[in-house]
Amino acid sequence: MFICIVPVTVFMYFNMYPINWKNKKRIYGVANRSEYKGDKESAFIDILNKTHRKQATIIMVALVIISVALFFVPTFILKTIIWTIFAFIDLFVITIPYVLGNSEMKRFKKNHGIISDNLLYADTKTSGCVHGLNIPMLVIANIIGAVILLISILADAGMLPIFNSINNLYGDAHVITILTATFLFTNVLFLLIAFIVDNSKNEVISENSDINVNYNRAKKKVFADYSIAITWIDNIAALITLIVLPILHSEILILVLLGIYLAFTMIGTIVYAIKRMKLDERYEKNTDEIITDDDDYWILGMFYYNPRDKRLNIEKRVGVGYSVNLAHPVGMMISAMGILSIIASILALIWIGMMAYTPINVYTENNTIICHHLWDEYKIESSNIVEIESGELSDIKAIRTAGTGLENVAKGTFSVNGEAGCKLFLNPQSGKYIKIVTNDKTYYISDNTADETEELYRFLLSILG
């Protein structure tokens, strides 16, 4: 999270709050015009920019300090929850000075009598004929990703002897399949986005059609190279996952691999951003001034909503890359999915927090052993118990098939010491377990501490006679 959040925050700061606004195409999301270069106008915008840049500097420094402080949060679950919430807050707070600047610039534009004519320029000579995507390279990369996923599925299913011979610990938990499927999903997503971008309408930056062709081809080529690079990074990560995890089976290793993967992805994104900025700077110096006055369609300078524009994707005014036209039907769907994803993430955090910080409870009622956590997970009738024993948790090896594995809660269906289909209801920090074998299932349960688990064991022995 630190590797992702801090570089993104720093990049947004330098991209949204430039020192010299006069060389930029836009000022806080408002098109930069020659009317703003007069002495009085320039002086006003200088003050506006310095004010909001100072605000953004204070915010960025505070966010970085908070990011470092979050390393000292005590537990992994609490860290995950706080980091995820902080990520949403970070991306929101760093944009506040930008939104204020956008509002002031629009008001400044209106006060100077610059009325938006809402023009959209099109170069009919080059419309739809410029592409930069290497389709075979991207398709081949996705095919390789699909092959890696297929091998992962077969390995998890125990159908490949070579993986069985090296003790595929994570087979029953399907960790390899889940990770490689995630990488392939990212590949497919980038494939779709790359096709959309490559077939998007050309941006008009000059009255010279040749300049428009060269600019749009270069712009699409940069994005195509970025998409291919990310796809191959995904494939390499999936391949390493497939080869390394069965041999060095470790959850810590998974986190390390994901951290390295995120670092390379971030590096690729930064390289793409730098190339785009250099490309724009090069063409801005050598093109005529053509202003597409659609400022009023950019809500807060960040969200594009224009019912008159039939384009789905549009270049962002904040950062690099592409956004969607919220007035387009597909754009509405994508936006709705994004909002639902954010809501789902917040609800998932609440759910994880409840799971992690609600203690488990094992008690008996009418000769029935009840395992309760948020609700009654298991009810074990004493008349069905065939065998009961206790032991140290360090003596068992449990592999999750379906369930929850947190620092203080492990519940669900697990494979224990090679026996599949066991039901767990444990606090791993207790250090002890009680094994209950019934006519149809095997349970491994505990209380919250070793002493409480021992007491529970003795009590169960007494009621079972």
The predicted-structure confidence for 13-66, as pLDDT tens digits, reads as follows 988 898 888 878 888 988 888 788 888 888 999 999 999 999 999 999 999 999
Q: What is the pLDDT of residue 192?
A: 82
Would you list the domain boundaries of the chain?
A: 121-291, 361-464
pLDDT in tens, 113-165: 766 555 555 555 655 567 778 888 888 988 999 998 888 888 766 676 665 54
What span, in angstroms and rounded, lies between the C-alpha atoms of 65 and 339?
28
Q: Give the chain's mean pLDDT.
A: 82
**Do the beta carbons of residue 431 and residue 390 sit within 8 Å?**
no
Burial (CB count <10 Å: 0-12, 13-18, 19+), residue 209: middle
CB 31 within 8 A of CB 293: yes
Query: Model's pTM, two decimal places?
Result: 0.67
pLDDT of residue 398: 83
Which region among 227-236, 275-284, 364-373, 423-432 has the lowest average model confidence (pLDDT)? 275-284
DSSP notation for 193-246: HHHHHHTSPPPP--S-HHHHHHHHHHHHHHHHHHHHHHHHHHHHHHHHHHHHTT
Pairwise pLDDT comparison (195 vs 93), residue with the higher score:
93
89 contacts: CB under 8 Å, gap ≥ 6: none
Residue type, 315: E
Residue 166: its pLDDT value, please? Answer: 45
CA pair distance 443, 368, nearest whole angstrom: 14
* Residue 79: predicted pLDDT: 81
Interacting residues of 96 by C-beta distance below 8 A, sequence separation 6+: 55, 59
CB 188 within 8 A of CB 227: no
Q: Which residues contact 87 (CB under 8 A, 6 or more apart)?
A: 1, 4, 5
Beta bridge partners of 448: none
Task: Name the least confident of 7-11, 198-202, 389-393.
Answer: 198-202
